[in-house]
């Protein structure tokens, strides 16, 4: 997803979505960005799968004891 940082004030980033809607998000999500920057937000499938496996192992350890 492509978003545009419209403005950053008081720790809040005003972000334009691809459909033109504006949303507010914590500015810390865009730590290295400035107003006018275009940011691409994409999921990381490999890290997601690794995290799911980690959680399953933790649950198994928790409930198998």
Strand pairing category for 22-26 and 12-16: antiparallel
Q: Which residues pair with 39 in a beta bridge?
A: 3
Q: How many Å separate Cα 11 from the centre of its chain? A: 16
Can you give the residue ranges of every domain in the chain? 2-63
Q: pLDDT of the chain along its 65 residues, tens only?
A: 999 999 999 999 999 999 999 999 999 999 999 999 999 999 999 999 999 999 999 999 988 86
Q: What's the pTM value of the predicted model, to 2 decimals? A: 0.75
Nearest to 22 by CA among 33, 31, 30, 13: 13
Nearest to 4 by CA among 39, 43, 42, 41: 39
């Amino acid at each position: 997803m492509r978003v545009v940082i419209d403005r950053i004030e008081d720790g809040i980033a005003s972000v334009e979505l691809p459909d033109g809607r504006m949303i507010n998000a914590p500015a810390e999500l865009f730590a290295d960005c400035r107003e006018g920057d275009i940011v691409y937000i994409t999921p990381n499938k490999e890290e997601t799968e690794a995290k799911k496996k980690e959680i399953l192992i933790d649950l198994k350890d928790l409930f198998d004891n």
